[in-house]
Amino acid sequence: MASAALAQETVSDSVIAEQRAALAANTDGKGFGPQAPRNIDAPMGENDRVFADAPPFTEMNL
């Protein structure tokens, strides 16, 4: 699969920086930002935040 092979390519830091800047500009002043289950700015991947369990799927609007 060509798309699977493309998913394995490395992206440069400048591309990531451009994407982060665009995301910051798009969400500035809107009361929300990027969503991630961890702090993606922490290079060590250490995250002390604790999240509550999601409700049962039967209680969610999926």
pLDDT tens digit string along 9-40? Answer: 888 999 999 998 998 888 888 877 666 666 66
Q: How many CB atoms lie under 10 A from the CB of residue 20?
A: 13
| Residue of 1 and 15 predicted with greater confidence | 15
Rounded to 5°, the CA angle 38-22-47 comes to 10
Q: Note the Cα 55 to chain centre separation in Å.
A: 22
